[in-house]
Structure 1
Amino acid sequence: MSPDLKETFKDSGAAVRPAPSPPAPAALAAKVRTLAPSMTRSMQRVAEAVAHDPAGCAALTVTGLAARTGTSEATVVRTSRLLGYPGYRDLRLALAALAAQQATGRAPAVTADIAVDDALPDVVAKLAQEEQQCLADTAAGLDLTQLEAAVGALAAARRIDVYGIGASNLVGQDLVQKLLRIGLIAHAHSDPHLAVTNAVQMRAGDVAIAITHSGRTTDVIEPLRVAFDHGATTIAITGRPDGDIASYADHILTTSTARESELRPAAMSSRTSQLLVVDCLFVGVAQRTYETAAPALSASYEALAHRHSPRSPAR
């Protein structure tokens, strides 16, 4: 996109992104879990119905699904669009494909929540299953067009700033240390005031990344907005692609999360999927910049090996 065109859209307060492709059938349940909290109660009934009984819902017309969920045809269509499908017909096709996957055992099962009296072996098994589910959901729902564009922007960036608070900041630090090791200039900011101060210095050719599961974290949105307004390419890693963060993101990378429970808050489970997206970005950038990234990575390994090797005895 030309700077002039981007400036035009910035004046209108909306970021310009490639049109997202409908989620793969395997990502439907994850999409429901991600977006359900932001839906109206009637839309939640539609979403929960299609996630829990894809085969049964795939056999229903829009009128039939509306009747089954006690909603209206308009609600069914709105829910379909919120889930990422152009209309109910596209959602119905995805439901049929998901039902076929479940029939052959290729669709993952949803695990139960962890109870306070669960034995430790059961806790380990449930956590492992939910981590696997979370990674599979994120991979299935990741828009590869958005990912490719984000990788390209990072590979060519003059400077990269990453914003995150709490658990998301830990993910941001992980990304930054990876980028530093292949010779890129990157900084992670957890202090919101410092983040905004640095965002003011961002320009075209720079990249700003915001990491927020909720998509509504003001301390993360504000520096991204400032960077966006100053011409930087902006990327959001979020579990809520419909959140406020979307208004200032050129590229959105959607993450999934396991179901939140009393013993496992969203901050814990969302970090798993965020780390997967971070690894995808890093590997993609390393591939794009291999001629410079490989020597830089080797040099960092050698420096660390030398630092941790036993010192020669003094003579």
Structure 2
Amino acid sequence: MSSKLKETFSDGVRAKRSGQAAAPSALEGPPAPAALAAKVRTLGPTMTRSMQRVAEAVAGDPAGCAALTVTGLAELTGTSEATVVRTARVLGYPGYRDLRLALAGLAAQQQSGAAPAVTADIAVDDPLSSVVAKLAQEEQQCLADTAAGLDTTQLEAAVSALVTARRIDVYGIGASNLVAQDLAQKLLRIGLIAHAHADPHMAVTNAVQLRGGDVAIAITHSGRTSDVIEALRVAFDHGATTVAITGRPDADVAQYADHLLTTSTARESELRPAAMSSRTSQLLVVDCLFIGVAQRTYDAAAPALSASYEALAHHRHGPRRP
């Protein structure tokens, strides 16, 4: 599905309203070493099997792979030199030389203890003390991966659209709707007109009313939730600026997104079919959007937020006595 991703211009805005292959901006540069593991986890499921072997090798043994030539890595993974180069480019590096430099940097971070290890899946018979430790590690890893892989150019563009939006619709189903509601209520409290829609019929009904100057945000970890995609498509077709928050940048939702914000792809297991770390990554992106908007509209946002706190004070402490 990667052919459906839209081209990214150097100004950070999705190129045009048609599906095209995603290409990193010339001004963005390759991702930092700390972002490499996050890139592999996020993009790995979208790669061919041969490219996955290369990606898994560099993420699993960055020090060893950094010492290999392109021919050596191709032989190690049972692939071709062309596959190695293509994998490097998909991960955001101009060529294999740049990937080797990132691998060397990542290996140095790991040796210094800066890169946390990936936790094991939670087993049925794990004691609660292990569950707490593993979940905490997983949350930390997902937040770090999301922060490392988040395209700040796209984030800045999404913030700019929200700041000037006449109206904001946020779409999400299930756990993603909890995140959608969180974003909508945050924006409402600083004076923006924002609504979260969980009902797919209401979402599409509202999306039809959007126009240029409005913003629609779709939140779907899989990127394939049809009800969310349909609402975003309608908003897109009616001229609204569209934003997708997803763990799968190659998925269907991307073809209707002017701005794509990628979250970490959480590892889900039989015991955690809807891992809470997916939601945690989404909430981090939501907080980044909110703080960005609040910074840009501080003169209006601060009094609005203060007024909402004041209005809700009696709910927390009881009504004021005369």
Partners of 1:26 and 1:138 in 2: how far apart?
Answer: 11
2:192 aligned residue: 184
1:289 aligned residue: 297
Which deviates the most, 65-74 or 33-42? 33-42
Matches within 5 A, 1:1-12: 9-10=16-17, 12=18
Aligned residues: 308
2:6 aligned residue: none
Partners of 1:54 and 1:170 in 2: how far apart?
Answer: 37
* Unmatched 5+ stretches in structure 1: 1-5
- CA shift, 1:105, in A, is 1.4
**TM-score, normalising length: structure 2:** 0.90
Partners of 2:36 and 2:184 in 1: how far apart?
Answer: 31
1:225 aligned residue: 233
Match of 2:176 among 160, 168, 173: 168
Question: Does structure 1 conserve the Cα–Cα contact (< 8 Å) formed by 2:266 and 2:275?
Answer: no
Q: Per-residue displacement from partner, 1:107-128 (whole Å, max 9, x unpaired)?
A: 1211111111111101101101
AA at the equivalent of 1:152: S
1:115 aligned residue: 123
Question: Does structure 2 conserve the Cα–Cα contact (< 8 Å) formed by 1:162 and 1:176?
Answer: yes
Matches within 5 A, 1:116-265: 116-265=124-273
Partners of 1:160 and 1:103 in 2: how far apart?
Answer: 46
Which deviates the most, 61-70 or 304-313? 304-313
Change over 3 Å in CA distance of 1:257–1:54 after alignment to 2: same
Tell me whether 1:275 sits opposite 2:283 in the alignment: yes
SS of equivalent to 2:82: helix
SS of equivalent to 1:9: coil
Question: Does structure 2 conserve the Cα–Cα contact (< 8 Å) formed by 1:167 and 1:267?
Answer: no
2:87 aligned residue: 79
Partners of 2:268 and 2:86 in 1: how far apart?
Answer: 25
SS of equivalent to 2:16: helix
Question: Does structure 2 conserve the Cα–Cα contact (< 8 Å) formed by 1:80 and 1:91?
Answer: yes
Question: Does structure 2 conserve the Cα–Cα contact (< 8 Å) formed by 1:55 and 1:95?
Answer: yes
1:3 aligned residue: none
Q: Percent identity?
A: 83
Question: Does structure 2 conserve the Cα–Cα contact (< 8 Å) formed by 1:157 and 1:207?
Answer: yes
1:69 aligned residue: 77
Partners of 1:141 and 1:38 in 2: how far apart?
Answer: 16
Match of 1:106 among 99, 109, 114: 114
Tell me whether 1:308 sits opposite 2:313 in the alignment: no
Change over 3 Å in CA distance of 1:238–1:303 after alignment to 2: same
SS of equivalent to 1:158: coil
Change over 3 Å in CA distance of 1:214–1:148 after alignment to 2: same
- CA shift, 1:75, in A, is 1.6
Partners of 2:246 and 2:229 in 1: how far apart?
Answer: 11
Which deviates the most, 23-32 or 162-171? 23-32
AA at the equivalent of 2:16: F
2:55 aligned residue: 47
What is the aligned-residue RMSD (CA, Å)? Answer: 2.2
* Unmatched 5+ stretches in structure 2: 1-12
- CA shift, 1:106, in A, is 1.1
Partners of 2:47 and 2:23 in 1: how far apart?
Answer: 23
Q: Per-residue displacement from partner, 1:212-258 (whole Å, max 9, x unpaired)?
A: 11112221112112211211111111111121222111111110043
**TM-score, normalising length: structure 1:** 0.92
Which deviates the most, 124-133 or 218-227? 218-227
SS of equivalent to 2:249: coil
Partners of 2:116 and 2:15 in 1: how far apart?
Answer: 44
AA at the equivalent of 1:9: K
1:59 aligned residue: 67
